[in-house]
Amino acid sequence: MTDFFKHDPYSKLYQDFMHELAEKHLEATEGLSMPFLPNIQQTSDVAVIGLETRGWGSKYNFQQMLTENKPIEEIAQSSLGIYQGVLNREIKGKFWWLMREVKKVVDQEPMWLNFYAFDYNKTSIRKSKNKELIALIDKYSAEKLILEIELTKPKALIFCGKFHGNLTQVKNALLQGKQPEIIKPGDYFIQQWGDYRVCRIPHAAAPAVKDKGTIIKEQLDKVREYLG
């Protein structure tokens, strides 16, 4: 297994945050999944970014591993192993259909990132009644995603689904004080955020989005054109 803390440049941020949760918010961590940790050694010109993966590492949860006195390093290694195991399997489901569609259109394997670093009781962290915990994980998740993007440097970012207003911190960090270039306006936009071409698409499983298949196809075609 990859030596996560030897090779991962953002490991200090990750360790510090998990220690903060363990030391200051242990009771509140009940229901938190294993942390979502992508393998950022795998790079691509395209990153597909979901909101969260519900039921992530469902055999264990974060609080359980902490109360069993598992070292932070072991928790991270376990989560990275789960991520790699998912990539090595052929998975059904709408999100994985999208990943395969992206691969077909842009002719390369996309990176898989998530906004949220944890889910909560196999659903969204936003279902927690602990508003302080939600705010803490919102902030940390944004910082973590920003670093993942900056370290892997994909040319195109495809944000899939709803992000509940949480993209502002990511957008501001990538723009570094500049204004975005609007390529295509609307809810499902295409913009240039500094060095990154960014597009929004509906989640492939979103029931209320009319013509979502057409929207996704058109957006992916634009990404392919941009990549040349």
**What is d(CA 144, CA 130) in angstroms, rounded to the nearest whole number?**
21
- Take residue 28 and report the two structure tokens written for it: 């509140």
Residue 2: pLDDT band by 50, 70, 90 thresholds?
Answer: very low
DSSP E strands in 148-222: the ranges are 156-160, 181-184, 190-193, 196-201
Which pLDDT score, from 0 to 100, does residue 128 have? 87
Residue 6: pLDDT band by 50, 70, 90 thresholds?
Answer: low
Average pLDDT over every residue of 127-141: 87
pLDDT above 80 for 15:
no
The residue with greater pLDDT, 58 or 220, is: 220
Judged by average pLDDT, the poorest of 16-20, 64-68, 103-107 is 16-20
Residue 83: pLDDT band by 50, 70, 90 thresholds?
Answer: confident
Average pLDDT over every residue of 121-128: 87
pLDDT above 60 for 96:
yes
Residue written as tokens 């030897």? 6
**What is d(CA 176, CA 169) in angstroms, rounded to the nearest whole number?**
11
- Helix, strand, coil in percent for the chain, rounding step 5: 45, 15, 40
**What is d(CA 81, CA 86) in angstroms, rounded to the nearest whole number?**
9
Nearest 5 degrees, angle CA 3-CA 9-CA 14?
85
| Mean pLDDT score across all residues of the chain | 86
pLDDT above 60 for 224:
yes
The residue with greater pLDDT, 13 or 130, is: 130
- What CATH number has the domain spanning 4-227? 3.40.470
- Take residue 30 and report the two structure tokens written for it: 């009940």
- Predicted TM-score (pTM) of the model is 0.89
